[in-house]
Amino acid sequence: MPESLAKAYCHTEDILTMGDRIPHNKVCLLDPASPTVLCPEDGDQFDFYLFGGILGDDPPRDRTSELRKLGFVTRHLGPVQMTTDTAVNVTRIVVEERVPLDQIPFIDHPEIKLRKGETVTMPFRYIVKQPISSASISSTPEGTTTTTSTTTVVTDETVGNTKKARKPKQPEPLLPPGMIELLKKDNDTALDLVIDDAMDKEN
């Protein structure tokens, strides 16, 4: 575990009972329904960022509505649902690294390869894992992500033959450690249930 995380403390208290230690006006509620996008300047205004409900539901169930009633100042992270870890990471990049939301490279609903011939599509927005030299990735003001790719044709100068054009590498989502293994396990469980159900119907 990174040293920075080892020093972290997990609070189990209700946010409302911490009013004597956390000023109400220093708390920013990350709310998909907020009219205002999170910006680098918010790092000067807020000291705490509250992620309400359970981010990652598909479709979203608006569990943030319970916290919205409490009157916290709100900000949003774009129109596409994110997982909890992505939302926290994006907030950190915006307010600590001072990177505007529309300059963070995202990939929406990525198809993730689990094994040969086995993939899963994640219905969320993720940060791009690393810059892709063969593709230009950017986010539009509306929050969508565009990728402009170029295909390189490699020529064998020795024999004068043109090799098959290489397919540009696609951007990969930044996933938390162990996520691929968890997806494989979930996929295996789902497959077992389908097989068991089919056998029950035959019997």
Neighbours of 162 (CB within 10 A): 9
**Measured distance CA(129)–CA(107) in Å, rounded:** 9
| Count of residues in the chain | 203
Who's near 102: CB < 8 A, 6+ residues apart?
Answer: 139, 140, 141, 143
Neighbours of 37 (CB within 10 A): 17
The encoded tokens of residue 80 equal 């596409």
What domain range is 79 assigned to?
Answer: 3-202
- Nearest residue to 126 (alpha-carbon basis) of 66, 78, 61, 166: 78
Tracing tokens 């939301």 back to the chain, one arrives at: 101
The encoded tokens of residue 159 equal 């024999």
Tens digit of each residue's pLDDT (9 = 90 or more) over 136-187: 444 544 444 544 444 333 334 444 555 555 666 778 899 888 888 888 888 7
Beta strand extents in 16-149 (DSSP E only): 27-30, 48-51, 73-75, 106-108, 111-115, 118-121, 125-127, 135-139, 145-149
The 8-class DSSP code of residue 123 comes to -
DSSP bridge partners of 146: 138
State the pLDDT at residue 47: 93
Residue 135 above 60 pLDDT? no
The encoded tokens of residue 100 equal 């505007």
- Confidence band for 18, pLDDT divided at 50, 70 and 90: confident
Number of domains forming the structure of the chain: 1
Distances in whole angstroms, Cα of residue 71 to Cα of each of 7, 45, 50, 106: 31, 16, 12, 30
- Confidence band for 193, pLDDT divided at 50, 70 and 90: low
pTM beyond cutoff 0.75? no
43-61 as b/e: b if 16+ CB within 10 A:
beebeebbbbbebbeeeee
